[in-house]
Amino acid sequence: MRIRFVVRTWLVAVVVVALGVAGGCAKQVRYGDPKSVETVNIDFGSTDLQVIAEAMTRSLLQSPVVGGGSRPIVTVQDVKNKTSEYIDTRAITDSIRAELLKSGQVRFAVDEVGMDEQIDELERQQSEYYDQEQSAEIGNMVAAQYRLQGSIISIVKEADGVKDVYYKFNLQLWNVRNGLLEWSDEKDIRKTES
Amino acid sequence: MEIASEVVLAKTSVGCLPVLRLLELPARWAADAFAFCRGPLRMLAVGVLVLPIVAGCASFRSYQTEIGRTLDLVAVGRIDSAIKAHRGQTHYGEDLLYYLEQGELLRLGGRYAESQTAWFEADRRFRKWEEQARVDPEMLARDVGSLLVSDRLRAYTGHDFEKVMLTTRMALNHLSLGEWDQARVAIKRSHEREALIARLRAEQVRRAEESAGEKDEAPDFRELNGYPVRTIDNPEVNALRNSYQNAFSHYLAGFVYEALGEISLAAAGYRQAIELQPGLALLEEGLAGLDMRHFRRSRSVTEADGTTDLLLVIETGLAPARASVNINLPVPTDQGLLLAPVSFPVIREQRLVSGSSAVSTDEGMPTEASTVTSVDLMSRRALQDEMPWIMVRAVARATAKASIQRVAFKKDDSNIAGTVVLIGSVLTERADERGWRSLPARIGLARFRLAHGTHDVDVAVGSQKHRFSVSLDGPFAVMSVRQVGTAAYMSLSPGPGA
């Protein structure tokens, strides 16, 4: 009986130690391809952002205003988030702007978001600490010829364990001088989770 | 014997059988060892049997009694004494609950940096829970200690709404310190935490449904005779989308994003708040007026318009306490059914001050701050959601204790072991009463546009009236007023760019 008891005690101890070791296993961290398709969950993700930015940039570059070689000056305005998700639409327009700039076919004027910093810097350069010969003068900022604005909406439906999300991203290029809509395009994305 | 309780036992027992078999084995070994010992060795064995019970004396102590003394001091405005008293309660060690409560007390005392330090510790523990949950969602359901002795021995990982509330309150602390960018970080963590909890709970429900489809229905607390079902199952509680999302956190997110000029994110925050608490004019105006407010601010980019958009947060009361109630359930033994007391947590009805608070300023704009979030209801909803798992564990524990007791009596002729086990099992059968009590019971909001300068803000909650003098000089500010008992505590954030 004593031997049986000792063996049992040891068995329990081995199981406890084994559980402890298993629990203490370290997790692995690895880098991934930022362009690879991300389907961790149905929420708006990096792939959606990239797909929208690429589609909009491609379409804009083919438009008569941008593709005509006149290197128009554009300012980026708000893309309204009409979904219930925390989508940073500025991240989408930043990507579009970066791609358009790389193409060399568009120039960008300071936008509303950067205006405070721009004014602060201009005013700072007027101070006595700067060589006024080299300082930027107030009143020389270049106004935009076009403004880029848009919106993103979503329609979410859920039934019997199936969730369907439809996103529609719309972008528009408006002529500031005459108020004409020069270009507009949409990108749809549909995702289903079950 | 109550028929409803038998139904509950039958349902819970189906899922518990493998666990019970597992538990009976060590019980037999323990009794074998006890029978093997003689004389002084037997006394030593008694000690060994008693030891787990004594070691688990967390299950004897009442958390509510201990934190209650501290909260009594808060209610009469003696916040420094409350902080000191709470630090003196070392019984629970510096665990998660300690840091949660300590952080809240320090915030009330205006010691925001210290409060953040305590809450960072609590957040570190939540993050550990998140990491474990991501890797192994099933581990959340496992805790052998609670099956053997009491739910109180389970490592306290916090209720879901506490996890979300922590980052919201950390954001409030950052705002009190004028750190709007850091508040944004805390708010973003709230979104991520909510998403993770939603995923885990959805997975848990899916598994439970699969399991119920294979075996039997999930246990239902509504069938527990003697349980105050209405306290956690009523229209107000059931109207909540879930236990962890709340309109206040999302409205605050909207306000902070708006203050930082991130309109697309602000819109999402206000929209989520409306979806969680529909029909409140204040929340709807937050979203409807967003574009106009943004337009007005962008027009006055070169010179401030001399006003402050003030968000007034009015918090009242304390989160409800959980108590333990014993209900007799029939437990199967080889000598037939034995009626055993099984403990379940309950949240008693608490008398709260009226749902809305009157607010006025010296610019003559009296308004009503409507309740946008009720932590009281969220706590009840959390308990409602937890009850099936609590019942499974409670019945398994009762059956295991009966099984151990039966084996101990059978193997030991002197009946000492059996008696010790019997006393221990009765003494340790108490439900888990732990919870973040210093959270407010209700959170209300009001929003004003006031000219820069010093203003008197009057807040009336129930019969209590308070006047605060605030100095405003930035485009945005958040003012928090917390009323507990007869005491009121105020915090004002300097706005971004103030």
Q: Average pLDDT of each block of 10 consecutive residues along chain A (194 residues)?
A: 45 47 61 86 92 96 93 94 93 96 96 89 94 94 96 90 92 97 97 90
**Contacting residues of B for A41, CB less than 8 Å apart:** 195, 199
Residue B121 belongs to some domain of the structure: yes
Instruction: Please report which confidence band the pLDDT of residue B132 belongs to, taking 50, 70 and 90 as the band edges.
Output: confident
- Given an 8 Å threshold on Cβ–Cβ distance, is B268 in contact with A161? no
Q: Taking CA atoms, what residue in B is nearest to A28?
A: B135
For chains A and B, count residue pairs whose Cβ atoms are closer than 8 Å: 61
Lowest mean pLDDT among B250-259, B344-353, B484-493: B344-353
Q: What are the phi and psi torsion angles at B267 (to 5°)?
A: -60, -40
Is the Cβ pair B301, A115 closer than 8 Å? Answer: yes
Contacts of A115 in chain B (CB under 8 A): 298, 301
Q: Chain B partners of A112 at a C-beta cutoff of 8 Å?
A: 298, 301
Point out the residue among B33, B199, B302 whose CB comes nearest to the CB of A5: B33
For chain B, the domain total comes to: 1
**What is the predicted pLDDT for the residue at B63?**
83
* A39: contact with B, CB 8 A cutoff: no
Model pLDDT, residue B133: 79
Instruction: Give me the pLDDT at residue B379, please.
Output: 96
State yes or no: pLDDT of B387 exceeds 50: yes
**What single-letter amino acid sits at B13?**
S
Residue B390 pLDDT exceeds 80? yes
Report the DSSP pairing between strands B442-451 and B307-316: antiparallel
Task: Tell me the CA distances in angstroms from A43 to A39, A47, A167, B195, B262, one per residue in order.
Answer: 9, 11, 10, 9, 20
Strands in B476-484's sheet, in edge-to-edge order, are B464-472, B453-461, B357-361, B367-374, B442-451, B307-316, B476-484, B487-492
Q: Is B498 a domain residue?
A: no
The band of B31, judged by pLDDT with boundaries at 50, 70 and 90, is low
Minimal CA separation from B267 to chain A, in Å: 7
Backbone angles phi, psi at B350, to 5 degrees: -120, 145
Evaluate whether residue B322 is within a structural domain.
Answer: yes
Q: Of B10, B21, B15, which is closest to residue B400 (Cα–Cα)?
A: B21
- A:94-123 residues touching chain B, CB 8 A cutoff: 112-113, 115-116, 119
Cβ-defined contact of A113 to B261 (cutoff 8 Å): yes
Residue from A19, A79, A84, A86 whose CB has the most chain B CBs within 10 Å, to mutate: A86
Q: What does residue B453 show for φ and ψ, rounded to 5 degrees? A: 130, -170
Q: Name the minimum distance, in Å, from the CA of A99 to any CA of chain B.
A: 21
Helices (H), B140-262: 144-148, 160-176, 180-214, 235-238, 247-259
| Least reliable range by pLDDT among A126-135, B139-148, B374-383, B394-403 | B139-148
pLDDT at B399: 77
H-assigned helices in B429-479: none
Global ipTM: 0.72
- What was the pLDDT predicted at B134? 75
Q: Would the CB atoms of B268 and A81 count as touching at under 8 Å?
A: yes
Least confident of A77-91, B56-70, B166-180, B198-212: B56-70
- Tell me if A90 and B262 make a contact (CB, 8 A cut-off): yes
User: What CA–CA distance (Å, rounded) separates B103 from B210?
Assistant: 41
Inter-chain contact A80–B267, Cβ cutoff 8 Å?
A: yes
Contacts of A81 in chain B (CB under 8 A): 263-265, 267-268
- Model pLDDT for residues A84-123, shown as the tens digit of each residue: 999 999 999 999 999 999 999 999 999 988 888 999 999 9
Of A15-29, A63-77, B8-22, B141-155, the least confident: B8-22
pLDDT at B487 over 70: yes
pLDDT of residue B8: 47
The residue behind tokens 């808060």 is B74
Residue A26: predicted pLDDT: 56
Within 8 A of A89 by CB-CB distance, chain B residues are: 264
Which of B199, B264, B302 has the CB atom closest to A41's CB atom?
B199
The answer to whether residue B497 is domain-embedded is no
Task: Please tell me the least confidently modeled range out of A40-54, B17-31, B138-152, B347-361.
Answer: B17-31
Summarize pLDDT for B196-236 with one digit per residue, the tens.
Answer: 898 888 887 777 777 666 555 667 888 888 899 999 999 99
Chain A residue nearest residue B34, CA to CA = A5
CB contact under 8 A, B268 and A84: yes
- The full set of domains in chain A, from first to last, is 42-127+136-193 (3.40.50.10610)
CB atoms within 10 A of CB B292: 9
Contact A27 B131 (CB under 8 A): yes
Predicted local confidence at residue B326, as pLDDT: 86
Among B267-271, B303-307, B489-493, the minimum mean pLDDT is found in B303-307
B246-300 per-position pLDDT tens digit? 999 999 999 999 999 999 999 999 999 999 999 999 999 999 999 999 888 776 5
pLDDT confidence of residue A25 = 52
**Which residues constitute the domain of residue B392?**
3-492
What per-residue confidence (pLDDT) applies to B331? 74
In A, minimum Cα distance to B295 occurs at A112
- Establish if B463 belongs to a structural domain: yes
Q: What is the CATH number of the domain that holds B261?
A: 1.25.40.10
